[in-house]
Structure 1
């Protein structure tokens, strides 16, 4: 009985490993990008069980172990870059320098959550230069108004559909815009953030809808929004930051495509996964809240912050503008097939890079 169960689970593992290779954008396909770490652990457990239970005089036993080992290697290939076993992509900052630093705290609050005091206390403790809140409605906006004594520069888009967004900044915001790039009820925010030194940083705040049976049945809307922003920043020479709850895991093919097209760097590479969702289920957590940046920055610190009642943990990232030290940092490079794939995803929703507000231009 145990052997039959083991064989069935091995073929199930093969199915969930191979299905995401199909570029179909249905939620039940793209959703399998998320639990690669869990699939990796399952493959390892299967491999151990097979060595203990199977009779290796039988050809099928070798087939089963081959499937488990191949699955283990495949999923590990996606996960290892987000561990300390991999070289860092972003250099550690050589110093702190207030004039050229920027710290961004990103918090998906979960609209029904009422623990505003927990978030406000966290902001008081860590004192980020910029606070980005997601899923914030008018009630949350009213509760967070107390922050505006210190965070005098704001962008506000309260919505009741769990796609509201607010930005609170100690640093000046210029040339701001709120856009609905792909879906009429899913906003994004775009601005220049002026560092204390006067350096202007182009920043894009995003929260596209996820592929799921209760949201969008396909990933195409999410993918198109991510990639049109990636394309819009790809030829920029100015400092850039893109951040938010992207509703995609760091190790998905789409996020990897975003990194290739945009040329932006991921400070988690070589440092950790920093899983932010789901805060209530330790066995099902993935990195959904992201920050990518141009080579102008090096990393002071990155930290997942404590639980405050949301289904997401907040993230705090501190960067230093150090163009000289960061000049030789390099992310992923696109190939022709990547550019074509990105264009096809944008064409599906008829969006172009010219549609994205480009602060400072």
Structure 2
């Protein structure tokens, strides 16, 4: 038993230390994902150590201390995405109808053929904007039935798991589809006109994940996030970025994106809203995101019911309140963050000038 506990503690310490290296290999970056699960494992392991090991041995307390440090470190990353943390974005309890903006983001999973289930959710929640990821020509044929109510659209049907569609009740201007880092991996950019007449710059993203079957490193994903963030930070425009970023909300790279862009995360202080994997309750992470500038407050954020995909949909309702939201503040970049961002962009030879900036 003592040997088993020692091995388990060693593995936990290794899993905790790996992401500190910032190495882009998929396995290293993958250790950012299960921080909540690792925290649970650490808590259980401490209980086992205290109950079963010899308290008279110094080794026991070394193991307990090492595991406790791992537990504290993992919790430091995930606790902001619980109700135990101060909310980063102000709540709007009674939003003015003309200032509301609702967005439904859904990775549909290309082989999934339950389009009717997603369409029922759209009809139920009536979002102003629907964003779909992994949508191909088959999905487009079904989604086009929305065009009577959502006449503005952007369409990029692909059969490589990176198709993307946007359907909107609100006017879209200066629309552009770009391939920022990798061929075949699109992003969408536009100006969205609110009911108030104000314009919001929107970016819809779905970078490829680091994985042994796609990109062995996270460099391409990270580079896309970095260059998009850098086009936003100096803008006075209202901005929204949403999509499946193939990265968890609490990872170092998503945190880097938030620091560089200055955008806020409405989930902070409210919950994790784990959208993936829909079929495995104990292996779920927040992979679908919506970030916004200080111009907005939040009235609702929900993970939607299952519709056949490996992702749940994410429904977010914002309120355009630039005066009330002016003092909202997220995390800030320092010199080390800027240096890391430079190395990520330089490695992929990409520049923020390649990112469309509608309205500027």
The TM tier, using the shorter chain, reads: over 0.9
Unaligned runs of 5+ in 1: none
- Tell me whether 1:193 sits opposite 2:192 in the alignment: yes
1-side partners of 2:100 and 2:332: how far apart?
27
| Partner residue, 1:83 | 82
Matched residue, 1:288? 287
C-alpha distance in 2 between matches for 1:355 and 1:106: 24
CA distance in 1, matches of 2:16, 2:322: 41
Q: Report the equivalent of 2:314.
A: 315
Moved more, 78-87 or 92-101: 92-101
Q: What does the per-residue CA deviation read over 1:120-179, in whole Å, with 9 as the maximum and x for residues that have no partner?
A: 000000000000000000010011111111110000000000000000000000000000
Report how far residue 95 of structure 1 moved: 2.4
Counterpart of 1:45 in structure 2 is 44
**Counterpart in the other structure of 1:126:** 125
Higher mean C-alpha displacement, 335-344 vs 315-324: 335-344
Q: Distance in 1 between matches of 2:31 and 2:132?
A: 27
What's the counterpart of residue 101 of structure 2?
A: 102
Deviation of residue 3 (structure 1)? Answer: 2.1
Match of 2:21 in 1: 22
Query: Once the two structures are superposed, what CA deviation does each residue of 1:224-268 show, in whole Å capped at 9, x if it has no partner?
Result: 001100000010111000000000000100000000000000000
Paired residue secondary structure (2:260)? helix
Q: Does 1:204 align with 2:220?
A: no
Can you list the C-alpha shifts for 1:249-306, whole angstroms capped at 9, x where unaligned?
0010000000000000000000000000000000100000000000000001000000
Q: Structure 2 stretches of 5 or more lacking a match? A: none
1:25-81 superposed Cα distances (whole Å, 9 cap, x missing partner) = 000100110000000000000001100001121111111101110100000000110
Residue 10 of structure 1 corresponds to 9
Q: What pairs up with 1:64-83 in 2 under 5 angstroms?
A: 64-83=63-82
In 2: Cα distance, 1:337 partner to 1:80 partner: 24
Alignment of 1:258 onto 2:257: yes
- Give the secondary structure class of the aligned counterpart of 1:72: helix
Separation (CA, whole Å) in 1 of partners of 2:358 and 2:179: 16
TM-score norm. by structure 1 comes to 0.99
Partner of 1:60: 59
In the alignment, does 2:264 pair up with 1:274?
A: no
Cα distance in 1 between the residues matched to 2:115 and 2:136 = 12
